[in-house]
């Protein structure tokens, strides 16, 4: 009897500690690759920073990934939308992000984390980069690595965002960004169990774009300072009349065709024509643009800049906007299995050696002698920072939305819940219409069934069935061992 109890205790312990986790994704040449399925990973993403910069409140112990109710509410709508990645701009490395990271992980959603913050000393100052590259700054960004390195759904870190935004800022900042990347990557190598890609998120300023990418991706005698990924904040496709040519996507393809690192839109979604129709989605994931690895729509929440997919009310309720409906419809049209097909040539591309000749514009930085590691920083890299706060996955228990969610028509979307992806899967477009145009929330489809806010039974059942098979197999395996 005693041993049966012990066995049961062990079994229960094992079962509760089994946390589902998305597969780590790694960079191979110009593609992201799922390390388990070996398929190509394409970013179908949304930028996520509710409250904008003001959503980062270290003095109140809060940032966009600290409130589990908020994360659950938004992970549910993002999952329905079809997103597989969020980008979060400002996090506090001293806070606990376990609940939020775990919720997004269970939803099959990866995170790209910017290591910087909006407050003084939390980023490189583009006017005088040498004044901001120091030990205290590195301690902060290494803290972000410590905080997020153990979450399997941490896809990448951004070392900087739009520091170079004109010819003037392109003169000397590039070498500082590479110095920061050198240190970040050395830190990850020394203190993380897996490699996590690091890269730069660039402004779409066409006069410096190619030089920025060329400077960041080249091999600088193997010093490890190169970008592993390249994000482009791209707003050139505006409205339903834009085309591949008028939006300049053809130029982007020419530029990045032979990139040795993944290139993707770290922001997109021009808002000059409202509501947005997101025709660029078909182009971005289409046959002509396979050199790019997808992108992230700017942005989840409606803020002053007027780019929101959803409006968050003070009472915590969310109203989906027409932009959400249009984007969901576009994502639903994507052929994910085609998009995830690998292209063998692309994964083996090697970076060119750094050389002045790679830079086309005279005024842009051609100095590849990087600033020396800042005073006291080498020790920090070797020994690690003091008292790091290391995140870890926790069990996700609640799945029902803690807040009301309204369709763009104004009616409430009922029975919203997170679908826990028990097969360690990545989220894919659901085929659903979360926010139907009419008010009763259940539009009959061609086959007579109701497509609405509820789960498509087929997909949900097969995921569940997979989960139970796994569970049964675990139980049998454990019992056999005991």
Q: Which residues are catalytic?
A: 162, 267
Number of neighbouring beta carbons within 10 Å of residue 130: 12
120, 129, 112, 233: which is closest to 179 by C-alpha? 129
State both tokens at 379: 């020790």
Query: What is the distance between the alpha carbons of residues 190 and 186, in angstroms, rounded to a whole number?
Result: 6
Q: How many CA atoms lie within 13 A of 165 on its CB side?
A: 10
Helix axes 322-332, 68-81, angle to 10 degrees: 50
Q: How far is the CB of 367 from ligand NAG (least distance, A)?
A: 4
Q: How far is the CB of 354 from ligand NAG (least distance, A)?
A: 12
3-state SS class at 302: coil
Q: How far is the CB of 222 from ligand NAG (least distance, A)?
A: 18
When asked if residue 348 is in the footprint of ligand NAG (CB under 6 A), the reply is no
Query: What is the distance between the alpha carbons of residues 124 and 60, in angstroms, rounded to a whole number?
Result: 24
Q: How far is the CB of 236 from ligand NAG (least distance, A)?
A: 19
When asked if residue 367 is in the footprint of ligand NAG (CB under 6 A), the reply is yes
Closer to ligand NAG by Cβ: residue 132 or 175: 175
Question: Measured between alpha carbons, how far is residue 55 from residues 65, 70, 75 in Å?
Answer: 10, 12, 17
State both tokens at 45: 């993403």
Residues 148-187, one symbol each (x = binds ligand NAG by CB under 6 A, - = not), give ---------------------------x------------
When asked if residue 362 is in the footprint of ligand NAG (CB under 6 A), the reply is no
Q: How far is the CB of 266 from ligand NAG (least distance, A)?
A: 22
When asked if residue 258 is in the footprint of ligand NAG (CB under 6 A), the reply is yes
Closer to ligand NAG by Cβ: residue 256 or 331: 256
Count helices and strands (H / E) in the chain: 13, 16
Query: What is the distance between the alpha carbons of residues 217 and 211, in angstroms, rounded to a whole number?
Result: 10
Query: What is the distance between the alpha carbons of residues 172 and 246, in angstroms, rounded to a whole number?
Result: 32
When asked if residue 352 is in the footprint of ligand NAG (CB under 6 A), the reply is no
The residue range among 3-11, 283-291, 366-374, 380-388 that interacts with ligand NAG, by the rule CB under 6 A, is: 366-374
Closer to ligand NAG by Cβ: residue 207 or 254: 254
Residues 236-255, one symbol each (x = binds ligand NAG by CB under 6 A, - = not), give ------------------x-
- Residue from 52, 286, 316, 371 that binds ligand NAG (CB under 6 A)? 371
> Is the link from the previous residue into 299 a cis peptide, with omega within 30 of 0?
yes
Binding site residues, ligand NAG, CB under 6 A: 175, 254, 257-258, 367, 369, 371
């Amino acid at each position: 009897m005693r041993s049966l109890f012990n066995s049961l205790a062990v079994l229960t312990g094992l079962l509760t500690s089994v946390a589902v986790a998305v597969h780590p994704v790694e960079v191979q040449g110009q593609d992201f690759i799922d390390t388990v399925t070996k398929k190509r990973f394409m970013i179908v993403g949304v930028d996520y920073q509710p409250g904008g910069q003001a959503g980062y409140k270290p003095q109140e112990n809060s940032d966009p990934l600290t409130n589990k109710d908020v994360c659950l509410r938004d992970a549910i709508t993002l999952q329905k939308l079809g997103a597989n990645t969020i980008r979060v701009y400002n996090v506090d490395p001293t806070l606990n992000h376990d609940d939020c990271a775990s919720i997004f992980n269970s939803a099959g959603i990866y995170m790209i984390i910017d290591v910087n913050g909006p407050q003084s000393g939390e980023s490189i100052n583009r006017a005088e980069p040498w004044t901001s590259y120091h030990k205290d700054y590195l301690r902060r960004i290494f803290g972000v690595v410590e905080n997020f390195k153990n979450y399997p759904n941490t896809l990448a870190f951004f070392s900087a965002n739009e520091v170079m935004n004109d010819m003037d800022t392109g003169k000397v900042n590039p070498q500082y960004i590479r110095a920061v990347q050198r240190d970040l990557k050395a830190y990850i190598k020394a203190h993380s169990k897996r490699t996590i890609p690091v890269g730069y998120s660039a402004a779409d300023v066409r006069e410096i774009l190619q030089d920025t990418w060329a400077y960041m991706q080249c091999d600088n005698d193997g010093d490890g300072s190169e970008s592993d990924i390249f994000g482009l904040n791209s707003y050139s496709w505006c409205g339903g009349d834009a085309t591949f040519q008028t939006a300049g996507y053809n130029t982007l393809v020419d530029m990045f065709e032979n990139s040795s690192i993944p290139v993707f839109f770290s922001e997109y979604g021009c808002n000059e024509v409202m509501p947005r129709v997101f025709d660029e989605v078909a182009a971005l994931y289409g046959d002509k643009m396979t050199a790019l690895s997808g992108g992230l729509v700017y942005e989840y929440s409606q803020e002053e800049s007027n780019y929101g997919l959803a409006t968050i009310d003070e009472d915590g309720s969310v109203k989906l906007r027409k932009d959400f409906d249009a984007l969901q419809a576009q994502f639903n049209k994507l052929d994910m299995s085609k998009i995830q097909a690998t292209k063998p040539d692309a994964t083996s591309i090697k970076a060119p050696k750094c050389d002045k000749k790679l830079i086309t514009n005279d005024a842009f930085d051609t100095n590849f002698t990087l600033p020396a590691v800042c005073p006291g920083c080498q020790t920090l890299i070797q020994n690690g920072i003091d008292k790091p706060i290391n995140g870890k996955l926790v069990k996700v228990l609640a799945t029902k939305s803690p807040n009301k969610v309204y369709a763009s028509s104004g009616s409430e979307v009922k029975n919203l819940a997170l679908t826990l992806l028990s097969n360690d899967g990545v989220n894919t477009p659901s085929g659903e219409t979360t926010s139907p145009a009419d008010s009763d929330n259940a539009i009959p489809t061609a086959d007579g069934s109701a497509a609405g806010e509820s789960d498509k039974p087929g997909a949900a059942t097969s995921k569940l069935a997979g989960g139970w098979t796994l569970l049964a197999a675990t139980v049998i395996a454990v019992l056999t061992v005991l």
